[in-house]
Amino acid sequence: MSELISLTKDGEVAVITVNNPPVNALSPGVPEGIASAIEAVSKDEDVKAVVLIGSGSTFIAGADIKEFGKVTGGEKKGGSLLPLLLAIEDCPKPTIAAIHGTAFGGGLEVAMAFHYRVAAASAQVGQPEVKLGIIPGAAGTQRLPRLAGVEKAVEMCAFGEPVKAKAAFECGIVDRIVEGDLLAGAVAFAREIIASGVTPQKSRERNDKLGDEQTNAPIFAAARDQARKTRRGQTAPVAAIDAVEAATKLSFNEGCKRESELFQQCLFGDQSKALIHVFFGEREVAKIPDVPKGTPTIGINKAAVVGAGTMGGGITMNYANAGIPVLLKETSQEFLDRGLATIRKNYSNSVKKGRFSQEVMDHRMALITPTLTYDGFEEADIVTEAVFEGMDLKKQVFGELDKVCKPGAIIASNTSTLNIDEIASVTSRPEFVIGHHYFSPANVMRLLEIVRGKATSKEVIATSMALSKKLKKVGVLVGNCRGFVGNRMLAPYGREAQFLVEEGAAPQDVDGALYKFGLAMGPIAMGDLAGLDVGWRIRKEYKHLEDPTVRHPLVADRLCEMGRFGQKTGAGWYRYDENRKPIPDPEVDKLIEQASAEAGIERRQIGEQEIVERTMYALVNEGAKILEEGYALRAVDIDIIYINGYGFPAWRGGPMWFADTVGVKNVYDRISEFHAQHGKVWEPAPLLKTLAEQDRTFADFDKGKITATA
Ligand code: 3HC
Ligand code: NAI
Residue to mutate, 305, 306, 310, ligand 2, most ligand atoms under 8 Å from C-beta = 310
CB of 185 closer than 6 A to ligand 2? Answer: no
| Residues 6+ away with beta carbon under 8 Å from 519 | 647, 648, 649
In angstroms, the CA 132 to CA 113 distance is 23
| Residue with CA nearest ligand 2 atom 39 | 440
Nearest-5° Cα angle at 401, 396 to 406:
160
Domain 5-268 sits in CATH at 3.90.226.10
Cis ω for the linkage preceding 22 (within 30 of 0)? yes
CB of 644 closer than 6 A to ligand 1? Answer: no
CA of 54 to the centre of ligand 1 (A): 14
| Residue with CA nearest ligand 2 atom 14 | 387
| Residue with CA nearest ligand 1 atom 36 | 61
Q: What is the pLDDT of residue 710?
A: 41
Q: Classify strands 433-438 and 95-99 as parallel, antiparallel or unpaired.
A: unpaired
CB of 24 closer than 6 A to ligand 1? Answer: no
Task: Give the distance, in angstroms, between the CA of residue 623 and the centroid of all CA atoms in the same chain.
Answer: 19
Q: What is the pLDDT of residue 289?
A: 95
Instruction: Calculate the CA dihedral of residues 664, 665, 667, 668 and round it to 10 degrees.
Output: 110
- The identity of residue 116, as a single letter, is Y
Q: Classify strands 382-385 and 447-452 as parallel, antiparallel or unpaired.
A: unpaired
Q: 3-state SS string over 75-128?
A: CCCCCCCHHHHHHHHCCCCCEEEEECCEEECHHHHHHHHCCEEEEECCCEEECH
Taking the CA of residue 400 as reference, the ligand 2 atom at the shortest distance is 18
CB of 235 closer than 6 A to ligand 2? Answer: no
| Residue with CA nearest ligand 2 atom 25 | 310
CB of 138 closer than 6 A to ligand 1? Answer: yes
CB of 371 closer than 6 A to ligand 2? Answer: no
CA of 104, nearest ligand number: 1
| DSSP bridge pairs for 434 | 412
Q: What is the pLDDT of residue 707?
A: 59
CB of 58 closer than 8 Å to CB of 24: yes
Q: What is the pLDDT of residue 397?
A: 98
| DSSP bridge pairs for 370 | 328
| Residue with CA nearest ligand 1 atom 15 | 283
CB of 692 closer than 8 Å to CB of 668: yes
CB of 81 closer than 6 A to ligand 1? Answer: yes
Q: What 8-state DSSP symbol labels residue 546?
A: S
Q: What is the pLDDT of residue 545?
A: 83
In a 13 Å sphere around the CA of 170, the CA atoms on its Cβ side amount to 7
Nearest 5°: phi and psi at 291? -125, 75
Taking the CA of residue 339 as reference, the ligand 2 atom at the shortest distance is 9
CB of 442 closer than 6 A to ligand 2? Answer: no
In angstroms, the CA 248 to CA 215 distance is 11
Residues designated catalytic: 109, 129
CB of 309 closer than 6 A to ligand 2? Answer: yes
CA of 307, nearest ligand number: 2
CA of 23 to the centre of ligand 1 (A): 6
For residue 586, the surrounding DSSP H or E stretch is: helix 586-598
For residue 223, the surrounding DSSP H or E stretch is: helix 213-230
Domain 303-478 class, CATH top level = alpha beta
* Helices (H) then strands (E): counts for the chain: 30, 19
CB of 65 closer than 6 A to ligand 1? Answer: yes
In a 13 Å sphere around the CA of 581, the CA atoms on its Cβ side amount to 4
Taking the CA of residue 109 as reference, the ligand 1 atom at the shortest distance is 53
CA of 101 to the centre of ligand 1 (A): 12
CB of 246 closer than 8 Å to CB of 141: yes
Q: Which long-range contacts (CB under 8 A, 24 or more apart) does 554-562 make?
A: 554/502, 554/595, 554/598, 554/599, 555/498, 555/501, 555/502, 555/588, 555/591, 555/592, 555/595, 556/498, 556/527, 556/532, 558/591, 558/595, 559/532, 559/588, 559/591, 560/532, 560/533, 560/536
Q: What is the pLDDT of residue 529?
A: 92
In angstroms, the CA 105 to CA 266 distance is 15
CB atoms within 10 A of CB 413: 26
Nearest 5°: phi and psi at 434? -155, 160
CB of 137 closer than 6 A to ligand 1? Answer: yes
Taking the CA of residue 385 as reference, the ligand 2 atom at the shortest distance is 29
CA of 54, nearest ligand number: 1
CA of 61 to the centre of ligand 1 (A): 6
CB of 283 closer than 6 A to ligand 1? Answer: yes
CA of 376 to the centre of ligand 2 (A): 21
CB of 142 closer than 6 A to ligand 1? Answer: no
Residue to mutate, 385, 387, 426, 490, ligand 2, most ligand atoms under 8 Å from C-beta = 387
CA of 469 to the centre of ligand 1 (A): 16
Taking the CA of residue 22 as reference, the ligand 1 atom at the shortest distance is 21
| Domain ranges, ordered by start, for the chain | 5-268, 303-478, 486-702
CA of 611 to the centre of ligand 1 (A): 37
CA of 641 to the centre of ligand 1 (A): 20
Nearest-5° Cα angle at 218, 216 to 222:
120
Domain 486-702 sits in CATH at 1.10.1040.50
CB of 479 closer than 6 A to ligand 1? Answer: no
CB of 472 closer than 8 Å to CB of 319: no
CB of 103 closer than 8 Å to CB of 230: no
Please give the average pLDDT of every successive group of 10 residues along the chain, which has 710 residues. 92 98 97 95 96 98 96 89 94 97 98 98 98 98 98 98 98 97 98 94 95 96 97 97 98 98 97 98 97 96 97 97 98 97 97 96 98 98 95 97 98 95 98 97 96 98 98 98 95 96 97 97 94 86 84 93 94 94 96 94 97 98 97 98 97 98 98 96 97 96 73
CB of 133 closer than 6 A to ligand 1? Answer: no
| Residue with CA nearest ligand 1 atom 33 | 23
CA of 566 to the centre of ligand 2 (A): 19
In angstroms, the CA 410 to CA 196 distance is 62
